[in-house]
Amino acid sequence: MSTTELNPIIFIPGLMGSIGGEILGTQVEWSFGVAGWFYRPFINELEKMGYEVNGNLWICYYDWRKGCEEIVDQFLMPILTEVKKKYPTQKVDLLCHSMGGVVGRTYIQGEGYLGNVRNFMCFGTPNRGNIEAYYLWSTGKIMKDKREKNLMDIIRSGYIWILTKILEIPLGADHIEELHHNFRGLGDLIPSQDYGDILCYKEDGETRFIPRKYTVYENPLLDRLNKEIISLKNGTENIYCFVGDGHSTWSALVLDKEVLLKDRKGCIKSTLRTKKGDGTVTVHSAKLEDAKLYVIEGSHTGILLKSIEYLEKIYNLNRSKGKKDSEIIEECPFGIILQRDMKVELKNEEAIIGKFENGRFTTEYDYIAQQFGKNYIWIMMRNLPKGKYSLAVEHPYGDGSHIFVCSPFMEKELSIHGGNVQCMNKFSFENL
């Protein structure tokens, strides 16, 4: 089948799935950045079906700090205009991952909708919102979690560190208003009213939920989209909803009962979890009314590749080009954000695993390196051997420098201390 016979597609990635423009503190070309590990294989599979990037397949990168309505106007509409010029008589298919689905719905269910979407497909989209988003929106911080971090967790933690340290967006309870102003996209992801109760406390061994009317923050965008869900159905020919299942996922926030009764304040101490989710979004939140539903056992990012076999049937296409990929392996990911003039050496008990020197990184393992601004580089590695590691950091300018390190069982900002001219610090950790 030639590219002219295929219906044009726009793929909209999720939160922290795009990098470029001015997000980095300097103008650079848009890309998936470190999220390319789970988005690039998905795009590759579409290409095996006969799609061609910028030919009949477009990627809508965007600044996820902005609200969804701004994203539609500034990033999606220009691509829709470009597609219209090339395919004046055809409608477009929107394939949307996570927050990308909220962006897509904002367009289709908005006043400026042009009636030009044939199929709307969402993959792991928090259609009723996300508990982790509410925690960050209400506290200004990420909850410390003892569970093993996956690749998406590490990417999320890295971006939050970048927002605070490099882009100087303050976090914490004392800076909530600044967070809300600088990260409006996060507010479009907090739970809607039809998510149900999101706060609870423990009493006499039982879980008691607090009615939503006492919840401080609301999501007017999702509330409107879900109340007017019929406009999504009427505005498209088909709705497909791919939902991940079988992974421990936050479903509610547990408050400290003593603080709640004494001060009438919601001090969050822990979470409730459910296995009915993809590790980020619950099945309940991801489902869409009247959609053709595909519940897949997989993680928030893993469902992308697992959906390919269903997309083949939907489009009546086969991946005739090359080997069919399996689900992404996320074993032992490791991330480090450092300054360009640092010298860093990562070792395990047997050998040097990676080395950064003179602005270049060398390793035998899979990695992605993304520059931020003029001074910082984010290096993501994966599939590292399990075992004990040491990290040696040398910096020519002495005290006051920081690096950020994140592995499945460790997330830490490391301060560099030493002499006035040169300092060398060593840190040890385990990558289990």
To 10 degrees, what angle do helices 308-315 and 36-48 make?
30
Q: Could you tell me the two tokens for 298?
A: 């997989």
For residues 329 and 54, give the distance between their C-alpha atoms in angstroms, rounded to a whole number. 28
Pairing outcome for strands 268-274 and 206-210 = unpaired
Q: Report the greatest alpha carbon distance in the chain.
A: 68
Q: Could you tell me the two tokens for 132?
A: 């982790």
Burial class (CB in 10 A: 0-12, 13-18, 19+), 402: middle
pLDDT of residue 171: 78
Q: CATH number for 334-428: choose from 2.60.40, 3.30.70, 3.30.1370, 3.40.190.
A: 2.60.40
> Tokens 């926030």 label which residue?
253
- The secondary element (H helix, E strand) that includes residue 336 is strand 334-339
pLDDT of residue 428: 52
- CATH assignment of 9-315? 3.40.50
- Beta strands in 329-422, from DSSP E residues, in sequence order: 334-339, 343-348, 352-357, 360-363, 367-372, 376-381, 387-395, 401-407, 410-416
Residues of the chain with pLDDT under 50: 1-4, 322, 326-327, 419-426, 432
**Listed residue (338, 354, 337, 345) closest to 397, CA to CA:** 338
Q: Could you tell me the two tokens for 52?
A: 């061609």
Domain ranges in the chain?
A: 9-315, 334-428
**Could you report the per-residue pLDDT of 176-224, keeping only the tens digit for each?**
998 899 899 999 999 999 999 999 999 888 999 999 988 889 999 999 9
- The secondary element (H helix, E strand) that includes residue 261 is helix 257-263
Do residues 123 and 97 lie in contact, with contact meaning Cβ atoms separated by under 8 Å? yes
